[in-house]
A and B are shown apart, each in its own frame.
Chain A
């Protein structure tokens, strides 16, 4: 294709812009509970976010990227006109990016995932036709937006209830925290590693058998647990048998666990949300390169890298300021609660990433927070804000779609 370089540059620039936006705004949401419970300092939080967002994007971001790239529209209708797909995907990126910027300016809680899904549907309906959209796939995605916060909420409720039963409500909460927290570490570490191994490593060219994957995941989980136990042992037992002091020490044990869940959350976010930026880029690249819409070529690793770099760049330039603000805003979340919410959300997001469903990390996390709230774990939840977060996607879908349609007509003028 003669304009290959032009399209590549445009796609890369828009994709990078969107990844930058995710890093600048979205990451703060993913890390909020960790920062709020004072487990990590700002600097550490930014570092953890950078490393694990990047790893999540590159190692486990492939499936969702595929869905965004080619799962939602029927590319067979485009065989004769590859330029249409390129213009459409460029329009989707531009639309989602613009909408996110507008929403951020206005302070609306919108999801990057919803923006890009809306945008892709928008261009497909306008540019190709109503039937070009794989509606059954799109309904599955929309259903996952309803289901994922509920699953995360139920998981968080169960997790916090077990924490309460095993540790908090006992007569010796500190001893029991030391005893049981390592199990949660093992569970979390193994789960995240397993999803990465099963779903992510194909892209890096590593093929493990099922048994190998499970054993390696358990092994990594074990190493993480041993490191965790080392840090838990270093927490001093308060001399007096004062309940308040005891609970403070218990929270310090959970703080160790929460470092792990913070990493998991950043990883999960990277694995799910980077696709919003690089999915369309991957679609444009392969079409522009081969001049054909119907290819089975895998997603080039460098596209995922681009997303990872974009997120880290957004985090470094703007996101760390947002994270600092969040740290001052959330002061009422203790690690025993924050961990339950984060672990449930991270687990849900990573599993969704494994199945290729693009879900909203923020909404999943809010669902998890509500789950802990239902278990009487959180002092005060502002339901007004919760409602606005959940309903934001009702407006985001048509807004993304409308903007994408508009940009589509502009990009259609590009040379083919």
Chain B
């Protein structure tokens, strides 16, 4: 029983995309308390937060899988299917990176070098802010769809994306400073530890870069 007509309408993948980004942002957001705990050398708390990150990353993965499963080629969407999947992949990468950072920090029982705690915290906070801004921009997609991908709503999106770019640029600057400081003290630290610290810095930078890429993809999505 049912009507054929009702079967032609499918659930909006845009809505699921927002849910995914919310999980991703929550996942990367946990990095701030993680670095705080690391700075205080509270190992128990670090381990606990790492588990939370792992759990959130898993949940994001589930949503990602759902979206991909429910996005057959026969679906006619108001946005380009490839753009949508690419956006999903970028979002997914943010959560993966957050998980990698937490994993390496815990797995290698890493410590932040002395007097770099606040600098790392500032750096990671800035990167997480970029992810949060990306989440807010993705959350605006509903209104964008509602307005037919045109006009006033596009301006709102554009200004949000500009803000996202600003945060990313800010994060880049902090990255340069923190690299400089690590370079100055690297000879006094165990080499392998230093190697991994650079790796962590890279990954934190990636968080902001990927968040910015979310914004650029959204721009393509709007224009089609």
Is B143 an interface position by the 8 A CB rule? yes
The answer, yes or no, to whether B44 is at the interface (CB within 8 Å) is no
Complex CA distance for A381 and B79, rounded to whole angstroms: 12
Residues of B within 8 A of A168 (CB): 146-148, 150-151
Q: A36-B6, A381-B10 are in contact. Are A376 and B146 (CB under 8 A)?
A: no
Q: Kindly identify which residue among A33, A169, A329, A379 contacts B7, using a CB–CB cutoff of 8 Å.
A: A329
B40 CB to closest chain A CB (Å) equals 39
Q: Which of B1-47 contact A (CB under 8 A)?
A: 1-15
Query: Among A200-208, A282-290, A361-369, which stretch is in contact with chain B?
Result: A361-369
| Contact A385 to B147, CB < 8 A, known contacts A378-B78, A379-B14 | no
Is B153 at the interface (CB under 8 A from chain A)?
yes
The reply to whether A380 and B148 contact each other, CB–CB distance below 8 Å, is no
Which chain A positions have C-beta within 8 A of B89? none
Query: Does B74 interact with chain A (Cβ within 8 Å)?
Result: yes
Q: Is B198 an interface residue (CB 8 A)?
A: no
Q: Report the Cα distance A169→B149, complex, angstroms.
A: 8
Q: Which of A164, A243, A330 contacts B148 (CB 8 A)?
A: A164
A304 to B153, CA, bound (A): 50
- In the assembled complex, the Cα of A415 lies from the Cα of B8 at a distance in Å of 48
B78 touches A325 (CB 8 A): no
Q: Which of chain A's residues has its CB closest to B77's CB? A: A380
On whether the beta carbons of B5 and A362 are closer than 8 Å, the reply is yes
**Size of A's binding interface in residues, CB under 8 A:** 50
* Chain B positions 55 through 82: 1 when the CB is less than 8 Å from some CB of chain A, otherwise 0: 0000000000000000010111111000
Task: Please state if B9 and A381 are interface contacts (CB–CB under 8 Å).
Answer: yes
* A171 interface residue (CB < 8 Å to B): yes
User: Shortest distance in angstroms between B59's beta carbon and chain A's nearest beta carbon?
Assistant: 23
The 8 Å CB contact of A332, one of B3, B4, B11, B75, is: B11
If A322-B2, A380-B11, A386-B8 touch, whether A334 touches B78 (CB-CB below 8 Å) is no
For residue B78, which residues in chain A have a CB less than 8 angstroms away from its CB?
373, 376-379
Q: 3 closest Cβ contacts across the A-B interface?
A: A169-B151, A379-B12, A109-B4
Q: Which residues of B contact A (CB under 8 A)?
A: 1-15, 72, 74-79, 142-143, 145-154, 156, 224
